[in-house]
A = this chain, B = another copy of it.
Amino acid sequence: MKTLAVVSGGMDSVVMAHLLKSEGHELTLMSFNYGQRHRKELEFAGMAANDLGANHIIVDLSHLTELVSRSSLTNAEIAVPDGHYAEQTMKQTVVPNRNAIMLNIAAGYAVTIGARHIATAVHGGDHYIYPDCRPAFIKTMDAMLTVANEGFIDKDFTILAPFLYADKTFIASEAHRLGVDLSRTWSCYKGGDIHCGSCGTCFERREAIRDAGIPDPTLYEATPEYADPR
C-alpha cells in the first residue's frame, strides 16, 4: 500500500521510514524546508529516500518561517540553546501549529498520489512540551482529515504514528533491530559539518542511543555533558 511519510532526516523519522518499509509500505518521503537552519536535515532526508528507494518530495515553507519570524521573537538570529530543552527554549525553535501544517500538506499530496496513509514520527518523549505530538492531536487530526476529504480519499485513510506511545530510547533500539545506520540521520540544530553534541537535540539523541545500549556511530564535536558509561 502507498504511504506518504513525513521525514525530516532526523533519527525518529528515518527510523520510522525503515520500519514502515519493513512492514511492506510503498513509501514516498516528504520533507519540509523551514529555512537555512534545516537544510542539513534535508540532505539526510534525501539520503534516507535513496537508501529506501523512495521518491522524495521537498515542500518549501521557508517563506512561512520568515513571516512568522518577522512577527515574533522566533527568528534565526536567536542562538540555539544548549543542554536539555526547557519549555521556553523549545517554544523559540518552532513555527506554531507546525505538525498540523505539515500533516495537512502531506494529506493533500497523499490525495494527489492516491496514498492510503500519511505517517509521522511524533513520539511520547515530546508529549510534555508539544501538544501537537500527543495522542489526542493525532486522533482529532485523523477525524478532521476524514471529514475534510470525504469522497476524495480512501475510506480507510488513516494517519500512522508508530512511535506515538514510545520514547526516543525505543526508537534508537528499533534502529538497531532494523539495521538502520544512525550516522545517516541528522539531529543537530546548529547545522555544522558534524553534530555539535551539545545542543538540545544532540543531547537527546546521545542520551537515547546511550540508554538503548547500542553503539553510537555519530561524530560529535563536544564530549557529552553526562558521564558516558562506555
Interface residues of A (CB under 8 A from B): 57, 59-60, 63-64, 67-68, 71-72, 74, 91, 95-101, 104-105, 107-109, 111-113, 131-132, 134, 136-137, 140-141, 143-145, 147-152
Q: Which of B100, B113, B137, B145 contacts A71 (CB 8 A)?
A: B113
Q: Is the CB–CB distance between A107 and B100 below 8 Å? A: yes
Chain B residue with the shortest CB-CB distance to A74: B112
Partner pick for A137 among B67, B95, B144, CB 8 A cutoff: B144
Enumerate chain B residues within 8 angstroms of A101, measured Cβ to Cβ.
101, 104-105, 108
Are A147 and B151 in contact, CB atoms less than 8 angstroms apart?
Answer: no
Report copies per complex.
2
Contacts A59-B67, A63-B59, A140-B144 given; does A100 touch B96 at CB 8 Å = no
Contact of A143 among B71, B113, B140 (CB under 8 A): B140
CB distance from A183 to the nearest CB of B (A): 30
Cα A99 to Cα B148 with chains together (Å): 8
Residues of chain B with a CB closer than 8 A to A113's CB: 71-72
Determine the chain B residues whose CB is within 8 A of the CB of A147 once the complex forms: 131, 134, 136-137, 140
The residue on B at minimum CB distance from A132 is: B148
Task: List 10 additional A-B contacts (Cβ < 8 Å) besides A59-B63, A97-B107, A141-B144.
Answer: A59-B64, A71-B109, A96-B112, A97-B105, A97-B149, A98-B108, A100-B148, A131-B147, A131-B151, A140-B148
Complex A-B, nearest 7 residue pairs according to Cβ-Cβ distance, in ascending order: A96-B111, A97-B108, A140-B144, A131-B150, A132-B148, A96-B108, A72-B112
Nearest Cβ on chain B to A82's Cβ, whole angstroms? 24
Interchain CA distance A59-B65 in the complex, whole Å: 10
Closest beta carbon of chain B to A40's beta carbon, Å: 20
- 5 CB < 8 A contacts A-B: A59-B64, A71-B109, A97-B148, A131-B148, A136-B147
The interface residues of chain B lying within 8 Å CB-to-CB of A111 are 96-97
Give Cα A2–Cα B132 distance, bound, in whole angstroms. Answer: 23
